[in-house]
Amino acid sequence: MGIIEKLRLDGKKAFVTGGAGGIGFSIAAALAEAGADVALVDTDIETSSISAGKISAETGRKIISIRADVTKKGDVDAMIEKILGEFGRIDTAFCNAGICKNIPAETMSLEEWNQVITINLTGVFLTAQAAGRVMIKQGGGSIINTASMSAHIVNVPQPQCSYNASKAGVIQLTKSLAVEWALKNVRVNSISPGYIGTDLTLNSPDLKPLIAQWNVMAPLRRLGRPEELQAIAVYLAGDSSAFTTGSDFVIDGAFTCI
C-alpha cells in the first residue's frame, strides 16, 4: 500500500467535539473528505446539524450531529452510545471542545478558573477516556487532543492564565495516556495550534483588536487558517501514523520560535 492509500480513512468512524464550527468543523470536513464517517459533537445542536448537512453534501459521507456537554460524564457516555449505535465502532476521536477567558489572574474568580479547566482539561479527559475504553475493546484507535501553542508560551497582551494552564495539562494528559495505552494499540497525540483565524476569533470584540498586534509579532505576519490544521489531523487519524503516539504537533507559523 502506497503512502496516499495509507492516508485515506475509508471505512473509519470518527467523532469531533466542538465540531459545529471553527477548527472542529474544519477537521471534521477533512476526515470526511479522506473517507471517514463523522459525528459532530457540540452543545449547539442547531449549528452542528447544519454543519453536518454541509459536510455530508460535499463529501457523500455519513455525518451525524450529537448534542453533548463534554464536562458531564452522563452526556459523554450517552454520546458514545449514540455513536456506536450509528457507526458500530470508533476509530478516531478528536477531542477539541474548549473555551478561553481573558481575565487578569488577580481578579479571576474561582468559578471562572474552574470553568476553563473543566471544559478544556476535564472535558478532554472524559472524552478521551470514553473513546479509549471503546478502542481498547475493539483492538485500537487514534485519539487526537487539541492543545495550543499557549501550552508552550505565555501569550500577550491578553491575560489568560487558566487557558494556558489547561492546555499545558492537555499535553501532559496526552503523553500519559499514550504511554498507558501504547501496548493496547491506542495512539494519543495532540495538536497545538497558534493563532487561527476562525469566525469566532475574527469577529470577537475582545480578540479582534489584538489581531494586528499578533500579526506584528508573528514570523509569517498573519493568522493561521483552520484548513492549515487538516493535514496533520488526517495523518494522525490514519494508518500511516502507526508509530506516532505521545507527540504534540505545534502548528503556529513559527510563533513559539521567537
Rounded to whole angstroms, the Cα distance separating 20 from 37 reads: 15
Mean pLDDT (whole number) for 38-49: 98
Q: Please, which pLDDT band fits residue 200 given cuts at 50, 70 and 90?
A: confident
Note the pLDDT of residue 3. Answer: 80
- CA torsion sign for 175, 79, 54, 97 is negative
Give domain status of residue 206, yes or no: yes
Express as a percent the part of the chain with pLDDT over 70: 100
Give domain status of residue 133, yes or no: yes
Instruction: Produce one character per residue of 185-212: b if its CB has 16 or more CB atoms within 10 Å, e if not.
Output: ebbbbbbbbbbbebeebeeeeebeebbe
From 167, 192, 195, 241, the catalytic residue: 167
Q: How many CB atoms lie within 10 A of CB 242?
A: 12
Rounded to whole angstroms, the Cα distance separating 211 from 118 reads: 27
Note the pLDDT of residue 24. Answer: 98
From 26, 49, 142, 148, the catalytic residue: 148
12 classed as catalytic: no
Give domain status of residue 93, yes or no: yes
Give domain status of residue 208, yes or no: yes
Mean pLDDT (whole number) for 108-117: 98
Mean pLDDT (whole number) for 152-157: 94
Note the pLDDT of residue 95. Answer: 98
Q: How far is CA 74 from CA 78, 95, 177, in A?
A: 6, 17, 22
Count structural domains, the chain: 1
Q: Which residue has the cell 501553542?
A: 149
167 classed as catalytic: yes
Q: How far is CA 161 from CA 52, 108, 168, 191, 211, in A?
A: 34, 9, 11, 19, 19
From 49, 65, 142, 163, the catalytic residue: 163
Note the pLDDT of residue 159. Answer: 96
Pick the residue with more confidence: 142 or 1? 142
Alpha helices in 70-195 (DSSP H): 73-87, 110-117, 123-138, 161-180
What's the mean per-residue pLDDT of the chain? 96
Give domain status of residue 39, yes or no: yes
pTM, rounded to two decimals: 0.96
CATH number at residue 26: 3.40.50.720
163 classed as catalytic: yes
User: Can you give the residue range of the structural domain that contains 198?
Assistant: 3-251
Q: How far is CA 54 from CA 25, 62, 65, in A?
A: 10, 11, 12
Residue 6, pLDDT above cutoff 90:
no
Q: Are 212 and 220 in contact (CB under 8 A)?
A: no
Give domain status of residue 106, yes or no: yes
Give domain status of residue 257, yes or no: no
Residue 2, pLDDT above cutoff 90:
no
